Structures are given as structure tokens and as C-alpha cells.
Structure 1
Amino acid sequence: MDAREFFDKLWQDYTCLTPQAEIIYRAFCERNGSVRNDHVAFRTFDISPVNLESLEPLLWGLGYKRHRQYQFKQKKLSAWGYIHDDAKLPLVFFSELLVEQLSEPAQTIIQRLVGNVDEQQLKTPAVFWSGRLWPALSWQEYQLLLQESEYAAWLAALGFHANHFTIAVHHLAVDNSIEKAISVVKDCQYPLNEAGGEIKGEPADFLVQASTLADQVLMPFADGDEHQISTCYYEFAQRYREEGGQYYAGFVAANADKIFESTNRFQRQGRL
């Protein structure tokens, strides 16, 4: 599988969970002619065999290499950004939850889930759209995880998917500013993530971003209950050129910290 096929299959899975993305994407295509994907993001636990160190060789097989590391102490996350020699291919942002920093009950739940993973399912890049590789957890367990880490609850319930795709605003023909981009999203009537403001970051950091709130899906849990949970969202990134003339290829931790809130269902509930 080459990188382009990988992203095509990833997009198919992502839009099944995130119907808003297809609608927003088409709106941008109609106005701009073409739309480039700036980056995709993945989530995992820092427990073998699903930790970042175990899975990132799959990215290397697609031609990616490590670029820069990031830490999110409050959210108990570590992450790497990855780049490809082909500048037209999107960047990758891959984070992992530092499970040992959670409470013992939360660790026990996650350890049990990961203990059910069949390592044969981790051998190809298809793992990135494989969904949940463990049995469903109960609604009570989901709630326990949610109290400590929204990230943990999201990953435990949904498994492996692209957490988000991202429109490269700086490559758009018409809507080539973050302000214009979010205006298009509002015209599509999708709510934006307002954590830290609609627009995250400053041009001085060479990257400004915005994102929608995640779509919702009715999810069955192990105890037979069904509940609405957050799935994935769409992001918009405007990059600026550095002194050498190249677009900044990194991420800004302060921005990303707020972007993570796009899957926080309490943001959406606050608007109902």
C-alpha cells in the first residue's frame, strides 16, 4: 500500500464516522476548485502493542519520518509530528495517552481492553481505520474514563480511526485565510470548537487553526445501553512561511491542546 492509497482508505472510514466532513469538503471544493489535506491525527495508548513506538514503523513504511516531539502535561499525552519527502502529502500528528498517570481503576480498564488486542491486526497500515480492537466497555466504565480523560474515553469506545483531517487553508484559491474558512463552515451550519476562541494561535507562531465540534453517533455499550458519543471532527489550518520561504511544517502545542477539545461532548451539550 502506498501513501496515497492509505489516505484514500482513511478518508472513506473517516467520513463514515464524520458526515459533516464530506459536506464541508464539497463546499470548499465548489468555492476553491481543489482542497489539500494539511494533516491527519491519530490517538493511541502508550501500552504495547498499540503504543506509538510499536505503530509508527507503519508510517515509516509509507515514507514518513519523525519531525518534532510534543508534550501535553495537563492532558497526560505525548506526541510526534511526522513529515514526508513528498510535500503534497499531508503531515501526520500521532499522540498517545500516558496511561500510568491515570488512576488505578482507569488503568485497569485500559489494560484489560488492550490485553484483548490480536497483534496480527497491527501488521499493516489498515490498523489505522480498524476501529475498536477490543470488546465494548460498559457505560459505567466509559463514564469513569471520561471523568479523568476525555481522550481515554474516546479511544476506548471508538478505537483506531483518523481523529481528524485538516483543510490546508493556505493552499486554497479563494478562502485562503482562517477567517474566510470558518465563515464557510458557519454557512454550512456546523458549530465550531470555541475552546480558547474560535481561532487558535497567532501568525507569529506560523500556524493558526480552527475546528468543528465532533459529530455524534449512537454507540452500544457492553451492558446493553446505547448512548450518544463524539466521533471525529474537521480542522482548518493556515500555515505561514518561515524565513527560508518554506511553510512551517510543525505543530503548536498550545493550539493542539485546544483542538483536542473538539471531541469534548460537553462543549456541544452546552449549546443545546
Structure 2
Amino acid sequence: MITNDFSPLARVLDTLFTPYKTRVPDVEKVTAAMIARGIINNENEIVNDHIAFRTLGVPNLGIASFEKIFLHYGYEKKDYYFFEGKKLNAYWYAPPSDAYPRIFLSELRVQDLSQKSRNIIHEYTKHITSDPVDALDLNDVQAVGDFFYRPLWQLPTISDYNSLAEESEYAAWVIHNRYYLNHYTISVHEFSEEFNTVEKFNIFLESEGISLNTSGGKIKTSPDGLLKQSSTIAKMVEAAFFGGQKMEIAGSYVEFAERLVLPEFRHLEPSSIERKHRRDGFESANADKIFESTYSEQTKGGK
């Protein structure tokens, strides 16, 4: 979290986080448990490693559109990732300073889906004939904040949602949730020694009744061993669909990351270690399994 920061970027991030926190009960549950255990005194002590968004790779939308917001606020585009099985592209973006979280943007490779799924997505997005971000005043913090929650297409029918979910649960999530914040990430290595690894923090989370994503194991570890991640399972939330129908679908979730110190900096005293001394970036194999925090194989056991 960012304490006493009233910069335009901090205000944009706050407009994102406030509705997300309201809709994702595990955010408050984890924070309250951390305060009760003395891990933190208040939520402003939490260091947000990164936030993530999902998009559709269709004309005028997707990463090419969405990234304009964060590039405007000083983010730098970094590495590309390809998720063949899930049919996704992704990039991560480095913040203008260490006070802000990294950004992870992914998009569905709609052209790789079946004709049936492509047709469904096209029906919802065909009226978007220009990039909606281009119509935004990116210096207007309120307008930018509102954009994340502004419907760009009509609510899907339950039938279309279920049809997409059969082929791509990512597609179904986005067709309903749109640009909703998918998750934020707590940096566990910032805590005291009792809780400063993902292993230790997971034990704490499960002792508080928090269900963890087990896809690929509860802890996802990069091949170099320097990035470890875990995440909660998205809670099922009642969602409105076209025609006033309602159905429970997966909402958003919370992630936890441990970035270990790079070998060349392990001689440093703990008090001297900064973000630049730790493993940066992301790992496609880790992210591939984290995506499944909203997938039915996980959520059906984590309601």
C-alpha cells in the first residue's frame, strides 16, 4: 500500500483498490488476521508486489489499448510471456518508482479460439470501433478510475458465459468482469522472520481458514528458485447477467509473493536490501498456475 501519497498515480491505484477490496472478502480477512497476529499494525504497511488485469485480444481492446493508461503514468513495458495452453499473451510493467506495484497485463488470443467462441466474443465487442482509452483524458484521475469499472459491452447471457467457459474459463471471466482488478499481491519477504517466506505465510493463511490455489502445488517456484508465489482461491460471487438472471461465478483473489535476494547481493545486511537487490520480473510457469485461482477446478472446492 502507499501511505500518504496523493500523487495522480497513487490516486488512480486507490480508485482501483477500493472496489476490489469491497468485493473480495479475502482482502479484509487476510488484513485483519495479519493485524491480529501482529504481522502489521495497519494495511498501509503492506507492500503491494503487483496488480494484474485480464483483457480480450480484439481490435481496439487488449494490451495495446489498456497499457496506454499505465505508460502514461510512467510505467515501463518489460518482458513478454506466452501461455500456449491458455491461449494468452502477457507483459509486465515496471513502476516509475519502488513506491508503486508492478503491473501484469494479460490478453486472450481470441483468434486462437474455436469459431463458436470467437463469434460470441465478437457479438459483444463488435460495436467498439475505436480505442476507448484514446477518448480518455489520462490526466483526469477520476475519469481513469471510472474507466476500469465502466461497461464496454453489455452483460453476457448465462448461455454465452457457460459456452465460453467450456473452452476458456479466462474468456468467461473477462466477458463478465471486464477490466475488473483480477488480484493484488502481498510481498511476504517484507515481514518479520516468522512470516517472511511463502512457506511460513501459507501456514499462517491456512490457520486462518484461507483456501489456497493448489494447481501446480500451493507454492509456485521459478526454476532459479528466486520467485515463490501462492494465491487464494477466488470466492464465488452472485453475478447479474443479461435479462436479470443471476448465477454464482468466480470473483477476484489475493496473491502472495516472495522475491529472494539475488546471489550477487546476498552479502548485504538485511537492513540494506532494496527492491533492486531482489529477483524481479515474473515467471510464466508460476503465472500459468496462478491464473487458475478463478478456474472451476479450484473454486468448486473453495466456495
TM-score, with normalisation over the residues of structure 1?
A: 0.93
The list of structure 1 runs, each at least 4 consecutive aligned residues, that deviate by more than 4 angstroms after superposition, is: 117-121
Relative to structure 1, the CA distance from residue 9 to residue 127 in structure 2 (aligned partners, 3 Å threshold; closer, same or farther) is: closer
Structure 1 stretch displaced more, 22-31 or 87-96:
22-31
Q: Tell me by how many angstroms 1:131 deviates.
A: 5.1
Aligned equivalent of 1:8, options 7, 14, 18: 14
For residues 221 and 50 of structure 2, what CA distance do their matches in structure 1 show? 17
Relative to structure 1, the CA distance from residue 238 to residue 260 in structure 2 (aligned partners, 3 Å threshold; closer, same or farther) is: same
Aligned equivalent of 1:21, options 27, 32, 47: 27
Gaps spanning 5+ residues in structure 1: where?
none
Aligned equivalent of 1:144, options 147, 155, 163: 163
| In the alignment, structure 1 residue 248 sits paired with structure 2 residue 279 | yes
Matched residue, 1:60: 71
| In the alignment, structure 1 residue 218 sits paired with structure 2 residue 238 | yes
Deviations 1:123-154 (A, max 9, x none): 24326631542111111111110011110000
Deviations 1:187-208 (A, max 9, x none): 3212110111111115734100
Aligned equivalent of 1:40, options 22, 26, 51: 51
Q: Tell me by how many angstroms 1:186 deviates.
A: 1.4
| In the alignment, structure 1 residue 160 sits paired with structure 2 residue 179 | yes
What is the root-mean-square deviation of aligned Cα atoms in Å? 2.0
Contact kept in structure 2, 1:167 and 1:235, CA below 8 Å: yes
For residues 28 and 15 of structure 2, what CA distance do their matches in structure 1 show? 14
Partner of 1:218: helix, strand, or coil? Answer: strand
Q: Tell me by how many angstroms 1:111 deviates.
A: 1.4
For residues 118 and 25 of structure 1, what CA distance do their matches in structure 2 show? 42
Structure 1 stretch displaced more, 123-132 or 194-203:
123-132
Contact kept in structure 1, 2:60 and 2:131, CA below 8 Å: no
Q: Tell me by how many angstroms 1:271 deviates.
A: 5.8
| In the alignment, structure 1 residue 238 sits paired with structure 2 residue 258 | yes
Matched residue, 2:60: 49
Deviations 1:57-111 (A, max 9, x none): 2111111011111110000000001002311211110000000000111111111
For residues 77 and 175 of structure 2, what CA distance do their matches in structure 1 show? 26
Aligned equivalent of 2:190, options 152, 171, 177: 171
Partner of 2:61: helix, strand, or coil? Answer: coil
Partner of 1:75: helix, strand, or coil? Answer: coil
AA in 2 matched with 1:17: R
Q: Tell me by how many angstroms 1:215 deviates.
A: 1.7
Deviations 1:216-266 (A, max 9, x none): 211122244311000100000000122443111110100100000000133
Structure 1 stretch displaced more, 127-136 or 40-49:
127-136
Aligned equivalent of 2:145, options 87, 111, 126: 126
Aligned equivalent of 2:220, options 200, 206, 210: 200
For residues 59 and 90 of structure 1, what CA distance do their matches in structure 2 show? 11
Partner of 1:32: helix, strand, or coil? Answer: coil
Contact kept in structure 2, 1:203 and 1:240, CA below 8 Å: no
Structure 1 stretch displaced more, 182-191 or 158-167:
182-191
Q: Tell me by how many angstroms 1:181 deviates.
A: 1.2
Partner of 1:48: helix, strand, or coil? Answer: coil
Matched residue, 2:107: 96
For residues 18 and 200 of structure 1, what CA distance do their matches in structure 2 show? 22
Give identity over the alignment, percent. 33
Structure 1 stretch displaced more, 207-216 or 17-26:
17-26
Partner of 2:185: helix, strand, or coil? Answer: strand
Gaps spanning 5+ residues in structure 2: where?
1-6, 139-143, 266-276
| Count of aligned pairs | 272
TM-score, with normalisation over the residues of structure 2?
A: 0.84
Relative to structure 1, the CA distance from residue 205 to residue 116 in structure 2 (aligned partners, 3 Å threshold; closer, same or farther) is: farther
Q: Tell me by how many angstroms 1:12 deviates.
A: 0.4
